Homo-oligomer: A and B are copies of this chain.
C-alpha cells in the first residue's frame, strides 16, 4: 500500500455509533428491529437512485422510507412527528469509543483527514463537534455535492477534487465493504474497520488493510 496523504472516513456506523437510532424507533412505538431494516432500505433506495443517475439527499429518502415503514404501525404520536423524531436522532449520535484516539493519532502523524458521507455534512459536523474532534478534519464532505452516492466513482473523485489530491494518495476508511470496493475501483487504498469480527463478502474487492479499531490504523501506517 502506497503511503497515503489523505485519510477519508465514512461517517454513518464507521465513526458514529448508530445503535442509539434503535431507541428513536422504540421511542415512537415502533419495534427496535426496524432500525436496521430502515437503514438498509435507505441505502438500497439511495443506490437505486444512483443507478438511474437521479441521486437524492439522504434525508429525503430517509423520510420517505420511514413514512412507508411506519404506516402500518400504531405509533404514539403523529406520523410526521415520528419521522422527525427518528431523523433528528442522527444529530444526537456519538462516536465509537475507538474514534477519538484513532483520529488524534492519525492527525498527529501529519495525515490530512476528511469525511465523505452518503448523508448530510451537518450530521458529521454535529458528531465530530460534540466529540471535540472537528478541528482535526480539513473537510466534512457529502455526496450531495458529488451528484452520485458512494460506491459510484464520482463520489470519490469529488473528494479527491476538493482535497486537490490524486486518488492513489487517499485511503478510504469504512465499516462497509461496498464503500471500500467502490473506493478501490476509483483508485484509492482502503482500510476495513471491522469492529465486530464480521465477514468480508467474497464478491467485493479485498481491503488493503483490516483493523479492529481505529488506533491500529495509525500504527499500521506508521510502520509502512
Interface residues in chain A, defined as those with a beta carbon under 8 Å from any beta carbon in chain B:
31, 33, 36-37, 40-41, 43-45, 47-52, 54, 56, 60-61, 64-65, 67-68, 71, 148-149, 151-153, 178, 181-182, 185, 198-199, 201-203
Known contacts A198-B71, A201-B64; is-contact A152 B51 (Cβ 8 Å): yes
Whether B40 and A47, one on each chain, are in contact in the complex, defined by CB atoms closer than 8 angstroms, is no
Whether B47 and A181, one on each chain, are in contact in the complex, defined by CB atoms closer than 8 angstroms, is no
Decide if the interface of chain A is mainly helix, strand, loop or mixed: helix
Return 24 A-B CB contacts under 8 Å, by A number.
Answer: A33-B33, A37-B40, A40-B40, A40-B41, A41-B44, A44-B47, A47-B48, A47-B50, A47-B51, A49-B203, A51-B51, A52-B152, A52-B153, A52-B182, A54-B185, A54-B203, A56-B203, A60-B203, A61-B203, A64-B202, A67-B199, A68-B198, A68-B199, A71-B199
